[in-house]
Amino acid sequence: MYKAIFIDLDGTLLRKDHTVGELTKSAIRRVMSKGVPVILVSARPLDAIIPVGRMVGTMDYPIASLNGGYIVSGEKILFKSNIDLPTTAAITQEIKSITPTIIYYVDRVWFSESNNKWVEHEQKILDVQISIQPFKEIAAYLTEHQTGPNKILIMNEPTPIQAAEQLAKSLYPALNIYTSQPTNLEVMNTDASKSRAVQLLIKEFGMDRSEIIAIGDNYNDKEMIAFAGKGIAMGNAPQEVKDAADYITDTNNADGVGKALNHFFG
Catalytically active residues are 8
Are 181 and 220 in contact by the 8 Å Cβ rule? The answer is no
Say if CB 70 and CB 40 are below 8 A apart: no
Q: Are 221 and 212 in contact (CB under 8 A)?
A: no
Closest CA to 174 of 189, 196, 194: 189
Beta bridge partners of 112: 103, 132
Q: What is the DSSP letter of 253?
A: G
Q: Where are the beta strands (DSSP E) in the chain?
A: 4-7, 38-41, 63-65, 70-73, 76-80, 102-106, 109-112, 131-132, 151-155, 176-181, 184-188, 212-216, 230-233, 247-248
